[in-house]
Structure 1
């Protein structure tokens, strides 16, 4: 912050509890004496990594009791060439960036080993009155099956023998190379399962933190299995994704649910291809496969069905780490290298922690003291560009009003990674904006009243700049280079996807007031320059005679520009703004509504449909509306001119009319077609002031079920199980119903309960934005004519 050395005292403790925790420790002694410590909130094992500058995911050897990193820069002709090309990429850059790139170039050069790993899944006996997933901590019910599928070919299911079940055949889909082994005792089944887990360096589960491993650990305790045989270690969850975390005493546990649930992974790495973070949804989206579908309850399954159902889950779990040349496994290793986080932490933490650790690592490498958040806000107050603050927001992205209507041959020109580019090119970092150097006070940032440092490149600027440039200028082009082998292209694609996750999220993290290195003038300057750049680009396009239809954050929509006009705009942007502006996509057909961030575009050639801001895409939309929406989109794909549009318009009106007429009619839609899914953000009892419709529906269902159970003299345990049926994180599946409650869970509903008026309103709110973009009035479709039709 002050760009000078200061004297500090470093305190060492023999154990972590000497530093923090309860009782007498360094932190408490300092607090009692009103002294503040720096860097005192970094977890112990992470401090070890930072101090020793270890990079998880790289390859080390032990030499004379010391860890040595294995250097791959000169290991083969391919890595020599890659090293040379990456070095050349940063030749003309500032010294800080050149030094950083030289130091961390090996995160891309070091080969990723395909480590032996085993996926596993458990099935638990669920009683007739157990309405939800068994509680892992209580582990009351028996484990009736455990399956293992490994990268070395192992496929095995351990099944518990139970009364009333006999084994006479394998399921028809059960693989020929898989085995089933039966156990008379659950204790033996668990002990043998633990033996397999000890053998593999990596164990993969889907939601194993919250359930599989957690349940096995507590069940083993209940069965009094020797603790030395149990490979699982359970600890309290850290963050929002898991109530608990399961480690292995030897090896690594990867819960891939946490990985796929991470919004940065689902959005940036996989482009939102799966709608929910369930094993079924992810497998269907990425593998084209689904879980085994069954009608009977798990505890009622015959051995052949149970063993195949259980094995299939493990097959899918392992496949998610192996598909597309082990894309997910490689992504995990690369993200560990980039974030400098151990695998356990990287998978279970959000992107903000990833980025925080990158910068903490760099501070420690350069022997820079990590400032306290309060110190940054005190030294760099900012606020000059605020629209609202104190719990609200500084100025955001610039969006111009769209030109509503139908347009053809629309080119979208996009600033490549706008905010990361701005951070690099304008040297934005907490220590460089409003720096302490007097000779920089006149060096103002475009579009802001803040000055910027010329003495050095800021830590945000060169770290973000390095990752942005390696992706945009090297790995992204290489990933589609037809001169390379498929294996090479696949590896480069994985690298550019990993970098994309970090680059795209970086500004969102920098702009969050919860980020430990948050600096308001940096956030303001980034959006300020972004706004300035978009405004200037629009003026330039109009000056060249190109009509601008829309502008959104980092892109401009241009109506049928010539190649020479696009080149002129691109050259001007690099020259005047120091930013890369390129053609990103071309729409053969674009429908813009009057609303901002609301349009439908059909890509030229590929027919890919680009939809922004439309309600019908949301996962809690009823199926019949989703189906109507899909039909509309298929029709739009064929439009290239006004004549085709007018024909399409008539078809779309018929589809909407048909759906309106079907609502509430017997035999038109099923109850499932009307169902709405909404998740519980908290436990039912915690909804006090405002009680949403899905919560009302769940409460009513539970009250009704309790009355039924009491009439049948149910036990207290059975009543408790009913009360626990809906908890935080569960989805409530309900319909909009007639009557004062307005909602009923699907289990209590009949078709005649449907409130037709509410569903017509829902269809209208979901499709109105699409129709609005196409200049079709919903009122006109439903029989209410536009006023101008009478004149």
Structure 2
């Protein structure tokens, strides 16, 4: 018997069918160390409409461990349902397939036992353990209850490997715990090595390296493995190395192997689940936390976040240097190897990635390393609450149709402006869900309401129940938790709550979701359209002009220059009046409490909205502005323009920033343009001419339309093959190249003179004319004498 009450954080979860029935396994991080929890004899459940009882019973003659039970639940079609209970989860899958062939749906049969156990108890990540018995340090058949405030300290190891260009393992580095070490293939040198702050151990075979790695994991027992592309490269290479050496790779707790899985829609993408340990890739964690970088390479992210990096050249220089160090200076290779581990650890700390991942798991109910899964997170919250309202969920694909229109984007009014306010609706779609009671069950209930005036009316003739719904309550709980997190300055929790809450509307519009319904998501997005239009009319009646709007934002020209203080005063009045208008109108017209809240976002002292290139129509999602922070420090803001896009050259981005800055500040720009062109033509900006673009497909997939980056990549790979190097771009990736007089050429194989006319006419001129034409000027008029000199 477990005598003390423990709290734990779920690291991994799994289920298995045994001869005795279904077992559910959780590995927890607790204050007393890692703990394995095993729940035996778990009954799995699905549902079927009662009218199909005879069909189901006919199938159960061959499934003695499956039984039917009457329940007080119904389907979305208002049909009463029976509970289908099974001792083994896989039997439900077999039954679902058999019934499907007869046109009968087995509902919720795809909810796995370890997820069902947690969601029905409103558990996300942290738990309190009650009762149970200890058997060989395993807690068996205890009870798990929610423990929302528990966050343990997790033991983290950063793992990195170095290989040859053919991915033959040279070394393994492990950092972040007391035993910092590099395992190196090769004989230990006779000469003494300068002391380092990590252990360097040599092995005569890769088999011995893998065995030592297994022992390190058993001895140090980390909770979390982090790295950079750690699953798709490092662990993948380690597994292949172990397989080739005919020795097991046992990195899971209890010396368990990795249970490799492929992505259902992307077979080359792998998952590496292992009992008791979570693998978190730095790239995926940054993207999930909405970090954005031109490149997610470790070198680039390190330079951007930490101001330092590895700095040993391009991909092939790096490969050559790794090979040289392996052959000539293995201690130097070890330093380089563990340096990567250190950088990953510091990036995780700087970006708060582990706290973010933990708060996201606590918010979503998904495993710590599960960074996608918006649909799964929605189901985790929604299903248990829906059951308590007397409904079971439909299956995926039950409702067909096109999704809803997206967010409303107002036609822009291009030009230069003084004093533009931006007002934003706070969490627009969640606030619509809360205010208008948008909900899957609510839609079902509202559509069958006996009193026509009672339901809440929505777009597309939708009706929503005022008292039977789940989603508005879920969103309210998350909203209030986020407000509390912001008050407590818990940024990782605040960010996790915001992302999850904002994902729910998109989930309802995803055909892969069991609650997909075009009318349901349209009740949200079309309401958003209405709100932006109403807000536009409101501000224009006050004498201002709405020059642009996008989903939840509206850009308001104040018609004359205002100081920051004056503009903020106008914004405060507008915000107060708009919010009051919504509160009064919604209560009077539908008896609804308004959770719609518009906020002041930015005052642009100067603002530029360009036209669509080659026309006089205003662009969308592209603008620039000059604003000041609360301390009066000015900053340029670019959205969607070349300055903000990595697929334009640094030459173009720097030019655009410099030109707009001068126009906004009211300083002469003519000489700046002439000197910029002169410097470019004189060859002083060669490093700024580099294109960096992504190859989204295999090179052989480009047949009819062959863009410049593909042409450059083919030249690069042909060059590398001639030098005996592996082809680098055949399966996609990123390529850097310049435009020459013979077309695009990669940096590693450039042989032709630069095509400067390309950079002037394709990079600088379009940017300049978008800014200059509204001012009555042009790039050609200002640069023709310069061009003629060269």
Specify the TM-score bucket, using the shorter chain as the normaliser: 0.7 to 0.9
Q: What is the Cα-based RMSD across aligned positions, in Å?
A: 3.4
Deviation at 1:334, TM superposition (A): 1.5
Q: What is aligned with 1:458?
A: 469
Q: What is aligned with 2:508?
A: 510
Deviation at 1:591, TM superposition (A): 2.5
1:746 aligned onto 2:776:
no
Name the SS of the counterpart of 1:654 in structure 2: helix
Correspondence 1:499-538 to 2 at 5 A: 499-538=497-536
The question of whether the paired residues in 1 share the 8 Å contact of 2:173 and 2:183 is answered with: yes
The question of whether the paired residues in 2 share the 8 Å contact of 1:167 and 1:303 is answered with: no
Moved more, 213-222 or 589-598: 589-598
Q: What is aligned with 1:119?
A: 158
Q: What is aligned with 2:172?
A: 146
Alignment CA distance shift 1:629-1:157 (3 Å): farther
Alignment CA distance shift 1:355-1:286 (3 Å): farther
TM-score, normalised relative to structure 1: 0.75
Q: 1:343 aligns with which of 359, 368, 376?
A: 368
1:608 aligned onto 2:635:
yes
1:695 aligned onto 2:716:
no
Matches of 2:345 and 2:660 in 1, distance apart?
35
Q: What is aligned with 1:315?
A: 342
Greater RCO, 1 or 2 (C-alpha within 8 Å, sep 6+): 1
* Residue deviations 1:275-308 (CA, integer Å, cap 9, x gap): 3322233333344442353555211122343122
Q: What is aligned with 2:381?
A: 358
Moved more, 201-210 or 224-233: 224-233
Counting strand residues as a fraction of each chain, which structure ranks higher?
2
TM-score, normalised relative to structure 2: 0.75
1:734 aligned onto 2:731:
no
* Residue deviations 1:635-678 (CA, integer Å, cap 9, x gap): 57xx5xxxxx321xx23x4343333344454x3233x5322222
Matches of 1:196 and 1:147 in 2, distance apart?
11
Correspondence 1:311-710 to 2 at 5 A: 311-323=338-350, 327-344=352-369, 346-347=370-371, 349-360=372-383, 362-363=385-386, 368-377=391-400, 394=405, 396-402=407-413, 404-408=415-419, 410-433=420-443, 435-439=446-450, 441-442=452-453, 448-471=459-482, 473-476=483-486, 478-479=487-488, 489=489, 492-558=490-556, 559=558, 560=567, 562=570, 563-576=572-585, 578=594, 579-593=596-610, 594-604=618-628, 605-632=632-659, 645-647=665-667, 650-651=668-669, 653-663=670-680, 665=682, 667-670=683-686, 672-703=687-718, 708=722
Name the SS of the counterpart of 1:122 in structure 2: strand
Matches of 2:302 and 2:391 in 1, distance apart?
45
Q: What is aligned with 1:757?
A: 758
Counting helix residues as a fraction of each chain, which structure ranks higher?
1
The question of whether the paired residues in 2 share the 8 Å contact of 1:208 and 1:246 is answered with: no
Matches of 1:35 and 1:71 in 2, distance apart?
36
Matches of 2:689 and 2:579 in 1, distance apart?
49
Matches of 1:213 and 1:564 in 2, distance apart?
57
Deviation at 1:124, TM superposition (A): 0.9
Name the SS of the counterpart of 2:634 in structure 1: coil
The question of whether the paired residues in 2 share the 8 Å contact of 1:616 and 1:766 is answered with: no
Moved more, 216-225 or 604-613: 604-613
Deviation at 1:236, TM superposition (A): 2.6
* Residue deviations 1:410-466 (CA, integer Å, cap 9, x gap): 332221111111111001123323633244545686773424223424333222233
Matches of 2:772 and 2:172 in 1, distance apart?
51
The question of whether the paired residues in 1 share the 8 Å contact of 2:187 and 2:202 is answered with: no
Matches of 1:161 and 1:205 in 2, distance apart?
24
Alignment CA distance shift 1:412-1:445 (3 Å): farther
* Residue deviations 1:319-348 (CA, integer Å, cap 9, x gap): 233336xx321211111122111224x23x
Deviation at 1:753, TM superposition (A): 4.7
Q: What is aligned with 1:39?
A: 108
Name the SS of the counterpart of 1:342 in structure 2: coil
User: Gaps spanning 5+ residues in structure 2: where?
Assistant: 1-74, 134-139, 559-566, 587-593, 611-617, 786-790
Q: What is aligned with 2:261?
A: 236
Q: What is aligned with 1:384?
A: none
Q: What is aligned with 1:284?
A: 303
Matches of 2:515 and 2:242 in 1, distance apart?
44
Matches of 1:630 and 1:179 in 2, distance apart?
49
Matches of 2:274 and 2:307 in 1, distance apart?
31
Alignment CA distance shift 1:775-1:556 (3 Å): farther
* Residue deviations 1:595-651 (CA, integer Å, cap 9, x gap): 233221223224233212212322222232233344446657xx5xxxxx321xx23
